[in-house]
Amino acid sequence: MAETAKIALVTGGGTGVGRAVALALLEGGYSVILTGRRKEPLEETIALAGGDGARAFALPCDVTDAAAVDALFGEVERRFGRLDVIFNNAGTNVPSTPLGDITPEQWQTVVDVNLTGVFLCSRAAFNLMRKQEPQGGRIINNGSVSASAPRPGSAPYTATKHAITGLTKSTSLDGRPFNIACGQIDIGNAATDMTARMKQGVPQADGSIKPEPTMDARHVGEAVRHMADLPLDANVQFMTIMATKMPFVGRG
């Protein structure tokens, strides 16, 4: 490994946005650890990277399991000695459901992955970044445009993504003494398996069902790589990248 190679970790790296970001970071010369619950999708991402896949490593982990997260970061430290960037991307959702019909189990599942999982990974990354030499690193959180404006029937997802904004700000403050930068990217309608339904139509705030435009997830990967490439004395605190014509500005 070249001495200048940076080490990045991408959660939820086997599909969708996580896959696009992992591929972009590999293309940019990073060594990338991909994590997720299932090893097979992670290995598929590595195969898609072609020759760059030689710098990619699949380390499965359930981000909701504190012991598993600690073990993952222990393995990262053992193999690489440091971590320069983490992209907290792993997330889940439930079908569009009015607030009164959401079960406590559905709520807890979304909170566990989208919020607690990001906390556990951020905490572990923070602890590694503040003790490594040279000290510091960058934490990038996937906030989603739902961190600003909800869709109908999205209470668990929207609540967790609003909470990610608070976690991002707190991490930014707590990281300053240790040269740890933290930023958030809010993504709207990247074309992935999760957003395929938008072509058929999704609920709008006025009660209608309408199709929505999407954008190539590759642009998200490039945007995250831009954030990652900055020197640690510069930070993209918040970025929104979205399909230009999606109904976000003025949603509702």
pLDDT for the residue numbered 2: 40
Instruction: Choose among 227, 208, 243, 242: nearest CA to 24.
Output: 227
How many CB atoms lie under 10 A from the CB of residue 85? 24
Q: Which domain holds residue 52?
A: 7-242
Cβ(189)–Cβ(195) under 8 Å? Answer: yes
Instruction: Quickly list H helices, 7-65.
Output: 16-27, 39-48
Cα within 13 Å of Cα(49), Cβ side: 32
pLDDT for the residue numbered 219: 97
pLDDT for the residue numbered 248: 87
| Percent of residues, the chain, with pLDDT higher than 90 | 87
pLDDT for the residue numbered 196: 76
pLDDT above 60 for 162: yes
pLDDT for the residue numbered 164: 98
Tell me if 16 is assigned to some domain.
Answer: yes
pLDDT for the residue numbered 251: 61
Tell me if 237 is assigned to some domain.
Answer: yes
pLDDT for the residue numbered 205: 87
pLDDT above 60 for 1: no
Q: Could you tell me the CATH number of the domain that includes residue 181?
A: 3.40.50.720
Could you report the per-residue pLDDT of 33-48, keeping only the tens digit for each?
999 999 999 999 999 9
Concatenating the DSSP letter of every residue in 75-128 gives HHHHHHS---EEEE----------GGG--HHHHHHHHIIIIIHHHHHHHHHHHH
Could you report the per-residue pLDDT of 138-158, keeping only the tens digit for each?
999 999 999 999 999 999 999
Tell me if 247 is assigned to some domain.
Answer: no
Q: What is the mean pLDDT of residues 13-19?
A: 97
Tell me if 1 is assigned to some domain.
Answer: no
pLDDT above 60 for 114: yes
Tell me if 248 is assigned to some domain.
Answer: no
Q: What is the mean pLDDT of residues 214-240?
A: 97
Please give the positions annotated as active site. Answer: 157
Residue appearing with tokens 């957003």: 195
pLDDT above 50 for 106: yes
Q: How confident is the model at residue 25 (pLDDT cuts 50, 70, 90)?
A: very high
Which of 34-48, 152-166, 185-199, 219-233 is the least confident region? 185-199
Could you report the per-residue pLDDT of 79-94, keeping only the tens digit for each?
999 999 999 999 999 9
Tell me if 2 is assigned to some domain.
Answer: no
Q: What is the mean pLDDT of residues 112-125?
A: 98
pLDDT for the residue numbered 230: 98
Tell me if 186 is assigned to some domain.
Answer: yes
* Average confidence score pLDDT of the chain: 95
pLDDT for the residue numbered 5: 86
Q: What is the mean pLDDT of residues 96-102?
A: 96
Rounded Cα distance between 190 and 18, Å, is 11
Q: How far is CA 87 from the centre of its chain?
A: 5
Domain count, the chain: 1
Number of H helices, E strands in the chain: 7, 11
Q: How far is CA 90 from the centre of its chain?
A: 6
Tell me if 198 is assigned to some domain.
Answer: yes
